[in-house]
Amino acid sequence: MYANNPSVSIPRRVAALIGPFAGGALASAVAFLLLRASFPDRVPTHFALDGTPDRFSSPAAALGQYMMIFAIEGAGILAASWSAKSGRISLRSLCVFSCGLAAATAYLFIAGMWAASDSGDSVMEFSLLQLPLAVVAGGAVAAAAWYLSRSRT
């Protein structure tokens, strides 16, 4: 069903590859709306290697940046799908990768928003433990997507 072959229509290919990023963007937007009232005036949008914030934006600009990152990831996956040689990279593999990447990205954005909520003017720190947790969450979602795609074929 997901192998690179001419029977997979372009709209179906695009939907399969972009769907996970749309879902991640939706989850991030819902978390943003739920936490919006507790954000400070400036929301951290980038963190140094030690977990301290080093770039800030307004909450609305932060949400825009998050959505732009999902769009860039989706565009990259689409480009990879059209440049992949048939037989070397299947559409299923790219879909599984998309699911994992979107889940890890959404996890990091939501964890960052959660940490920023109720931080006020105090210095907020983003625990570096969140990075391996995002990889684990993305890997779990990717493994589930792989299993589900195998059972459907």
Residue 2: per-residue pLDDT = 43
The 10s digit of each residue's pLDDT in 54-112 is 888 999 999 999 999 999 999 999 888 887 665 446 788 899 999 999 999 999 999 98
Domain boundaries, the chain: 10-152
Structure-model confidence comparison of residues 68 and 42, the more confident one? 68
Residue 4: per-residue pLDDT = 45
Asked whether the beta carbons of 17 and 94 are under 8 A apart, the reply is: yes
121/73 Cα distance (integer angstroms): 32
CA 114 to chain centroid, in Å, comes to 16
Map residue 57 onto helix, strand or coil. Answer: strand
124/126 Cα distance (integer angstroms): 7
